[in-house]
Amino acid sequence: MRTKQDKTRRRIIEAAYESFFRSGFARTSVDGIAERAGMTKRTLYSYFRSKDDLLAAVLEQYSDLAAERWQRVAARLPSDADGLIDSYFAQLAGWASSTPRWSGSGFTRLVVELADLPGHPARAIAHRAKKATESWLAERLRSARVSLPAARARDIMLLMEGSMVLMLIHGDKRYIDAAARAAKQLIAQE
């Protein structure tokens, strides 16, 4: 019986993931998630107490997927600083280009949407995920012998997030290229 419950829970999370990342938190209804999952709202609520709890479960699952993606990115990164930056931003551009209806980082979009709810569980999960990405990047920079790797990782995170947002606003992928150039200049100054 446990396997059936796990499959049902996973189906709900997958339906919610699609809904939240396609429409955002506010525009997604529990009715819509239940319909997408092929079940009643009552069944959905037997697994999750609220839409907020469901979002937290989705983001936990997404955190695991994001960690796996960063491992794949890491496997393709050269060991030198310039090559690392070029590859990192090229992979970001590739993700943006190859994903239909790409809309940037789901964590960033949801936290912006929930900006007036500082205690929302999604914000804590997004914080952990972004912090893990920054730490991951700092370790790569340290391995590439970049000075002040934690500070440069923070700078590059700002450039990455900013380039994604500006690319969404303007529909222009050249913002990612500009961010890569700026990151290389920061590293060269050390």
CATH 1.10.10.60 given to domain 1-48 = yes
- pLDDT-derived band at 190, boundaries 50, 70, 90: low
Q: What is the pLDDT of residue 1?
A: 53
| Contact residues for 125 (Cβ-Cβ < 8 A; gap 6+) | 56, 59, 60, 63, 107
Calculate the CA 64 to chain-centre distance. 10
* Residue tagged 């499959």 (tokens): 7
Contacts with 135 (C-beta within 8 Å, 6 or more apart), sequence order: 153
Q: Where are the alpha helices (DSSP H) in the chain?
A: 2-23, 30-37, 41-47, 51-75, 81-98, 106-113, 121-143, 149-170, 174-188
Q: What is the 3-state secondary structure (H, E, C) of 30-47?
A: HHHHHHHHCCCHHHHHHH
Q: pLDDT category, 37, cuts 50, 70, 90?
A: very high
What fold is seen in the domain 50-188? Tetracycline Repressor; domain 2 (1.10.357)
Q: From CA 181, how far away is CA 82, in angstroms rounded?
A: 10
Report residue 22's pLDDT band, with 50, 70 and 90 as the boundaries: confident
Confirm whether 1-48 and 50-188 share one CATH topology.
no
Decide which of 38 and 112 is more confident: 38
Of 25-29, 100-104, 116-120, 185-189, minimum mean pLDDT range: 100-104
* 4 pLDDT tier (thresholds 50, 70, 90): confident
* Euclidean distance between CA atoms 12 and 34, whole angstroms: 7
Residue ranges per domain, the chain? 1-48, 50-188
Mean pLDDT of 15-41: 90
CA distance 37 to 32: 9
Residue 99's pLDDT is 67
15-24, 39-48, 154-163, 176-185, range with the lowest pLDDT: 15-24
Question: Which pair of structure tokens corresponds to residue 148?
Answer: 């002040």
